[in-house]
Amino acid sequence: ETIELDDDEELQDAEEIDEDTETIELDDDEEPGDSEGGDLVELGEDEELMDEDDDIPEIEDNDSPPLMDLLDDEEVEEVEVDGELDPDLFEELVEPEEEAPEEEEKEEAPDLGLTFGSDEDFSEYDPEDMEKNRLLSERFDGYLGAMERFYNQYPLVDKGSFRVGSPNPGKLERRETQIELKDFYIGRFPVTNALFEVFVERTGYRTTAEKMGYGTVFQPRFRKVKDPSTGEIKAQWVAETGSKRIEGAAWYAPEGPGSTIHLKRNHPVVQISIEDARRFAAWIGKRLPTEDEWEAAARTAKGLPYPWGETWNPEASNVEATGIGETTAVDAFGQGQNGFSLMDLTGNVLEWTQSPMEGLSQNVSQIPFFIAKGGSFITAGEPALWARYPLRPDFTANILGFRCLVD
């Protein structure tokens, strides 16, 4: 099996290739091979390749790598990487590029008698003020073109009884229980780069990562590098994944300087703190879901462990085993859609909820942790919908986004 690279693709040379590492050579005249799940590992036109000598902090992982199964016909040797896990990330957390549509002319937003202008406007969501929330939602919709409106859908989740929690809870999981919820509307997709860009352009808002000057960047274990001596592309499996703080990483440069969201307007926005997510949501007349609401909407009234059913589907999510190693369009995995038509619930990026994680604020600063749900493109295994990830509220990363809800 080989991985083919387009002739005009921009590559980032690795300074050297480890002599002890066996690599997969890609022939010009061969087509890329299918993985066991049917996913092709391809390089998009704007994809940047990591230098092989990049320092990736080490995270212990004794499980056999899922992607090794996908490359079982090739000779790939694991590469040892030295380093430390980012201390700000809670220890238990570690466990096809689309062409952008042509820019459409956006309509002028209707005059609704509201005043806007700074990132302080509508910083708090008021569930009782339904009229204001409706006007805010209509105003935001007026800023959007037809393509952007497609990614701004909010399906109804009918009131009823829902199953949440794990039947066999682990260290961070809660025990399965039945809850009652009123009906609500929740984003069909995670918030995209295009939608967040409208918010920034209209308000001048600066995100937490921009103010701090850095964001956390996770490196996938599946890497593609170029041999400077031959110009050939090598596929490489790195034994450990890791993360590090990168100066300049922000929502518009998810991996730091040199990275971009060009041709990724329909990808989920990342490098977003919980405060950033709340500000965006309130500005459009919405809010973040609670953990109960997120999980109930994801599992539906059937209480399924996965959006599509009782068993894992390797072709339905952008996770580590898919071998993509970065975000994809939020509607790229149609097989992952659930009964409410929600997408990207078990892969691509983790998603903030407004629910604090009880018992994890016993640190010096007494800062609470908040629960993220779902899975990301570095998630190993088969993430169930009851999985939860406690994160500091100011944490930002290239694997973390959000979706909104309205009562």
| pLDDT tens-digit series, residues 286-341 | 999 999 999 999 999 999 999 999 999 999 999 998 888 899 999 999 999 999 99
pLDDT at 180 over 80: yes
Among residues 302, 98, 106, 291, which one has the least CA distance to residue 198? Answer: 106
pLDDT at 247 over 70: yes
Looking at residue 238, its pLDDT comes to 76
Question: Which residues contact residue 54 at a Cβ distance below 8 angstroms, ignoring those fewer than 6 apart?
Answer: 219
Q: What is the tens place of the pLDDT at every residue in 343-374?
A: 999 999 999 999 999 876 555 567 889 999 99
How many CA atoms lie within 13 Å of 133's alpha carbon, on the beta-carbon side? Answer: 17
Helices (H) and strands (E) in the chain, counts: 7, 14
Q: Assign 17 a pLDDT band (cuts: 50, 70, 90).
A: very low
pLDDT: is 34 or 278 the higher one?
278
CA–CA gap between residue 110 and residue 354 (Å, rounded): 31
pLDDT at 261 over 60: yes
Looking at residue 63, its pLDDT comes to 42
CA–CA gap between residue 64 and residue 239 (Å, rounded): 9
- 24: phi then psi, degrees, rounded to nearest 5: -100, 120
Whether residue 209 contacts residue 187, with contact meaning beta carbons closer than 8 Å, is answered with no
Looking at residue 364, its pLDDT comes to 56
Please give the CATH topology (third level) of the domain spanning 130-154+184-212+251-406: paralog of FGE (formylglycine-generating enzyme) (3.90.1580)
With b meaning 16 or more CB within 10 Å and e meaning fewer, what string describes 117-135? Answer: eebebbeebeeeeeeebeb
User: CA torsion sign, 35 to 40 to 43 to 46?
Assistant: negative
pLDDT: is 27 or 254 the higher one?
254
pLDDT: is 220 or 3 the higher one?
220
pLDDT at 73 over 70: no
Q: Assign 229 a pLDDT band (cuts: 50, 70, 90).
A: confident
pLDDT at 271 over 70: yes
Least confident of 201-210, 235-244, 385-394: 235-244
Provide the token pair at 17.
Answer: 């290739």
pLDDT at 92 over 50: no
Among residues 169, 41, 172, which one has the least CA distance to residue 95? Answer: 172
For range 44-67, the mean pLDDT: 42
Looking at residue 62, its pLDDT comes to 40
pLDDT at 172 over 60: yes
Q: What is the tens place of the pLDDT at every residue in 104-146?
A: 444 343 343 444 444 445 457 777 788 888 899 999 999 999 9
Q: Assign 13 a pLDDT band (cuts: 50, 70, 90).
A: very low
pLDDT: is 34 or 246 the higher one?
246
- Delimiting residues of CATH 3.90.1580.10 domain(s) in the chain: 130-154+184-212+251-406
Q: Name the amino acid, one letter, at 247.
A: E
Whether residue 254 contacts residue 262, with contact meaning beta carbons closer than 8 Å, is answered with no
Q: Assign 76 a pLDDT band (cuts: 50, 70, 90).
A: very low
- The segment with the largest mean pLDDT, out of 112-116, 144-148, 187-191, 236-240, is 187-191
Looking at residue 49, its pLDDT comes to 41
From residue 291, alpha-carbon distances to 109, 174, 340 in Å are: 33, 11, 17
For range 269-292, the mean pLDDT: 97
DSSP 356: E
Q: Is the pTM of this model over 0.95?
A: no
Looking at residue 365, its pLDDT comes to 64
pLDDT: is 27 or 103 the higher one?
27
> Mean pLDDT score of the chain, rounded to an integer?
77
Looking at residue 18, its pLDDT comes to 44
Whether residue 43 contacts residue 12, with contact meaning beta carbons closer than 8 Å, is answered with no
Provide the token pair at 276.
Answer: 């950033």
From residue 82, alpha-carbon distances to 72, 134, 393 in Å are: 25, 52, 28
